[in-house]
């Protein structure tokens, strides 16, 4: 008998060694058998959390709510969470009050924002922002009750009646629509591969257009400006549309008449193009100086006559020590092409050899410089009046003498 009692005692002890830790873990959580981490949170509304509410992290239970109390200083709910000591929760995580089951059992779920440290330690605060808390089941049911209470049963009845009247007699049409929908679905299913490729290419096109949005906007702006210019020049376009056929007919007749000579013209252009390209500087100078000269020439016009004034002081000029031939000597002679006027201040460089030429060929063979002679140029040259100006000045003086005191 004593042996039986001893065996029962040993079996009871073994059972207790297994059941008691399991019960502690089931009731208190994993932290009930060892060290634990205590985290704190403040909430404006505790949503009915109580001591013992489960705490999960990534869907795995890691602890429980160990205390819920009011904070007399901040007038808010103070929540204390007790977690297992081996739980690593990133410091930027937030906690939300969720429903652990469809029965409305609440749960505190921790949502991490990163998967690395630093981690929360014992005594740290974990954020439980009010705007991140989900709608509770009680509030959802209350809102649903308010919505259902605001629905007029008679309105529902009227809607059903009107729908029945609207669909009355449309059975064949609806059946045809459903049949056509089935046929369309079958065709779409048969062309699913092509549709998938088309959608993929469309997505690529949309991405490319999104990447070129700035260029697209600029292009649309340019198109808008072009359209506005066309609208503002509508009379010109109408004129061109009226007269272009006759002009095109004349051009066609001209091309038909000289079409055999186009080959020779193109061949000549091949020979002319290198000459023009080598004299780009000279052409640019001409395009600049010729309009300036024409403008200055137009400035001498005064009424119905042109005013010419002789500038007596031109500044220094170049002198070349060359032998002079006797008057009447008409024997042939060769020009001295080695003479040139050296560059200098207020010394006008004239002559074809000073014109811009390709590869600096203008003064290549010029070896005999001229000698600048003459007084320097004056800032206000003396103008010699013309005969008309002198006559007008003489008449003015005579009129002044005649109108003077007597």
| pLDDT at residue 314, as a whole number | 62
| pLDDT at residue 252, as a whole number | 82
Asked whether the predicted pLDDT for residue 229 surpasses 50, the reply is yes
Report residue 111: phi and psi, to 5°. Answer: -110, 115
| pLDDT at residue 368, as a whole number | 85
- The residue-averaged pLDDT of 243-256 equals 81
CA distance 254 to 289: 35
CA distances to 107, 109, 141 from 102, in Å: 12, 16, 13
| pLDDT at residue 188, as a whole number | 84
Joined tokens for residue 65: 């709510």
Torsion-angle region of residue 301: left (phi > 0), alpha (psi -120 to 50) or beta?
beta
Asked whether the predicted pLDDT for residue 378 surpasses 80, the reply is no
SS3 47: coil
User: Quick one: CA dihedral 152, 155, 161, 164, positive or negative?
Assistant: negative
Model pTM greater than 0.85? Answer: no
Banded model confidence at residue 405, pLDDT cuts 50, 70, 90: low
CA distance 138 to 67: 23
Q: What is the 3-state secondary structure (H, E, C) of 376-387?
A: CCCCCCCEECCH
Report residue 116: phi and psi, to 5°. Answer: -145, 170
- Sketch the domain layout of the chain as residue ranges: 35-141, 197-257, 261-299
Banded model confidence at residue 406, pLDDT cuts 50, 70, 90: very low
Read off the DSSP letter of residue 135: P
Percent of the chain with pLDDT over 90: 0
- The residue-averaged pLDDT of 214-234 equals 83
Q: Helices 192-211 and 171-190, interaxial angle, to 10°? A: 80
Banded model confidence at residue 266, pLDDT cuts 50, 70, 90: confident
pLDDT digits (tens, 9 = 90+) for 22-36: 665 555 555 555 567
Banded model confidence at residue 340, pLDDT cuts 50, 70, 90: confident
CA distance 100 to 137: 11
Q: Which of these, 140, 142, 131, 48, lies nearest to 96 by C-alpha position?
A: 131
- List CB contacts of 388: < 8 A, sequence separation 6 or more: none
Q: What is the 3-state secondary structure (H, E, C) of 154-197?
A: HHHHHHHHHHHHHHCCCHHHHHHHHHHHHHHHHHHHHCHHHHHH
Banded model confidence at residue 177, pLDDT cuts 50, 70, 90: confident
| pLDDT at residue 327, as a whole number | 82
- The residue-averaged pLDDT of 142-166 equals 82
Banded model confidence at residue 169, pLDDT cuts 50, 70, 90: confident
pLDDT digits (tens, 9 = 90+) for 107-122: 888 888 888 888 888 8
CA distance 208 to 217: 14
- The residue-averaged pLDDT of 348-371 equals 72
Q: Of 353 and 40, which is predicted with more confidence?
A: 40
Asked whether the predicted pLDDT for residue 397 surpasses 50, the reply is yes
- For the chain, the average pLDDT equals 78
Q: Which of these, 80, 32, 83, lies nearest to 62 by C-alpha position?
A: 83
Asked whether the predicted pLDDT for residue 51 surpasses 50, the reply is yes
CA distance 351 to 253: 45
CA distance 309 to 384: 6
Banded model confidence at residue 103, pLDDT cuts 50, 70, 90: low
């Amino acid at each position: 008998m004593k042996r039986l009692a001893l065996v029962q005692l040993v079996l009871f002890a073994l059972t207790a060694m297994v059941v008691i830790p399991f019960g502690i873990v089931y009731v208190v959580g994993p932290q009930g058998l060892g060290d634990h981490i205590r985290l704190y949170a403040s909430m404006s509304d505790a949503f009915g959390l109580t001591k013992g509410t489960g705490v999960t992290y990534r869907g795995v239970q890691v602890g429980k709510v160990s205390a819920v109390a009011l904070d007399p200083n901040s007038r808010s709910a103070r929540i204390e969470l007790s977690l297992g000591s081996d739980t690593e929760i990133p410091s930027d995580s937030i906690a939300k009050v969720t429903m652990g089951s469809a029965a409305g059992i609440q749960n505190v779920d921790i949502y991490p924002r990163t998967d690395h440290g630093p981690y929360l330690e014992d005594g740290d605060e974990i954020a439980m922002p009010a705007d991140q808390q989900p709608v509770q089941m009680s509030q959802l049911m209350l809102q649903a009750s308010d919505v259902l209470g605001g629905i007029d049963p008679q309105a529902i009845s009227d809607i059903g009646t009107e729908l029945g009247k609207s669909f009355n007699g449309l059975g064949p049409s609806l059946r045809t629509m459903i049949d056509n929908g089935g046929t369309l679905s079958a065709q779409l299913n048969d062309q699913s591969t092509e549709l998938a490729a088309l959608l993929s290419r469309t997505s690529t096109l949309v991405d490319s257009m999104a990447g070129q949005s700035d260029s697209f906007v600029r292009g649309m702006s340019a198109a808008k400006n072009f359209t506005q210019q066309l609208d503002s020049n509508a009379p010109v376009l109408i004129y061109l549309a009226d007269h272009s056929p006759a002009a095109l007919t004349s051009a066609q007749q001209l091309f038909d008449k000289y079409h055999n000579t186009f080959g020779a013209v193109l061949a000549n252009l091949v020979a002319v193009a290198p000459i023009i390209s080598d004299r780009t500087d000279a052409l640019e100078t001409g395009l600049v100086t010729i309009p300036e000269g024409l403008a200055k020439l137009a400035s001498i016009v005064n009424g119905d006559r042109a005013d010419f004034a002789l500038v007596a002081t031109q500044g220094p000029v170049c002198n070349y020590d060359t032998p002079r031939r006797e008057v009447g000597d008409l024997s042939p002679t060769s020009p001295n092409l080695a003479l040139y006027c050296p560059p200098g201040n207020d010394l006008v460089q004239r002559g074809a050899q000073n014109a811009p030429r390709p590869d600096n060929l203008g003064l290549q063979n010029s070896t005999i410089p001229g000698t600048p002679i003459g007084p320097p140029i004056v800032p206000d040259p003396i103008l010699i009046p013309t005969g008309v100006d002198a006559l007008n000045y003489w008449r003015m003086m005579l009129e002044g003498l005649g109108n003077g005191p007597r």
